[in-house]
Amino acid sequence: QKEVEQDPGPLSVPEGAIVSLNCTYSNSAFQYFMWYRQYSRKGPELLMYTYSSGNKEDGRFTAQVDKSSKYISLFIRDSQPSDSATYLCAMSGTASKLTFGTGTRLQVTL
């Protein structure tokens, strides 16, 4: 069993839809949780960061962490075609080593 599980998709939604992306993990030592976005042929870039449990909102993006269930989510409101990318969750116990999920490929259609 992988330390971090993420549905690879692809996930296809119409423009304007609310998108929910999720990861589960098994290592209870994880306390830093991140979402990276990776466009095709580019490197991943940090989208959201959360420390321990709770919610964090940034514009159309909301990250949620539920440590009791070992479950994290990223919600995208009013999705746009420019949101089409692969979304990777990442987490760590110490910030020097991140463990990534396999990524979910999202396609937002017009």
Give the binding site for another protein (CB under 8 A): 8, 31-32, 34, 38, 41-46, 49, 51, 86, 88, 90, 92, 95-100, 102-103, 105
Shortest spacing between CB 16 and another protein, in angstroms: 26
Shortest spacing between CB 39 and another protein, in angstroms: 10
Q: Name the residue among 77, 91, 108 with its Cα closest to residue 35.
A: 91
Nearer to another protein, 82 or 97 (CB): 97
Nearer to another protein, 41 or 68 (CB): 41
Q: Name the residue among 53, 31, 6, 8 with its Cα closest to residue 97.
A: 31
Nearer to another protein, 17 or 98 (CB): 98
DSSP string, 14-28: ETT--EEEEEEE--T
Shortest spacing between CB 78 and another protein, in angstroms: 25
Q: Cα dihedral angle (8, 72, 36, 27), rounded to 10 degrees? A: -90
